[in-house]
Amino acid sequence: MKLRVLGYALLVTLFGMLDYSYVSGSQLWERKVKEDRKIQEVIQSKHKEQESLRERLKVAGLKEEDVKPFFEAIQKAVEQSDAVALSKIVKYPITLKTPKGQNIKVPDSKEFVANYPRFITPNWRKAVLEQKYKELFANWQGVMIGRGEIWFSSICMSEPCSKYELKITGINPWFAD
């Protein structure tokens, strides 16, 4: 709805965040919709946090009480550069790419530990360590750390999947560089 007051135009929106234009003579002050969208995105992301990670994890078929200690174990291993600890929670075989684009097929934890320095980069470590638990992304494929630097999911240990273990199913060091 537009209101005109003494030569000034004021645009008031009923929906959205503080979207207004103020015109005085040849000067124009306008709060851009783009800025408003940024504010709305922040509000929505906070709402999504409150929506709860629990709801997002349901999509992946996971429980928060299982995911949190697993996530913390990943961060601890990465923080301490503990290749052995990280190797114990990877699903094998796994194919990794080095930052130079080479594929490394890793059949077991022994090979993982041996190749750890080839694919772990400072930027990858930083992305994993900066991930906040409440901001984890989850979908039907599992849970993503960072922008895809690590993916983990449940691996069925029995039929019909009444028991499962969480395992790292993807490591993508080139995403961080």
Domains of the chain, first to last: 2-48 (no CATH), 52-176 (3.10.450)
E strand or H helix that includes residue 106: strand 103-106
Between 10 and 139, the more confident residue is 139
Question: What confidence category does residue 5 fall into, taking pLDDT thresholds of 50, 70 and 90?
Answer: very low
DSSP string, 121-164: -HHHHHHHHH--GGG-EEETTEEEETTTTEEEEEEE-STTSSSE
Chain position carrying tokens 């934890």: 109
For residue 40, pLDDT beyond 80 = no
pLDDT in tens, 50-105: 468 889 999 999 999 999 999 999 999 999 999 999 999 999 999 887 767 778 89
pTM of the complete model: 0.69
Q: Is the pLDDT at 20 greater than 90, yes or no? A: no
Tens of pLDDT, residue by residue over 110-148, are 999 998 988 888 999 999 999 999 999 999 999 999 999
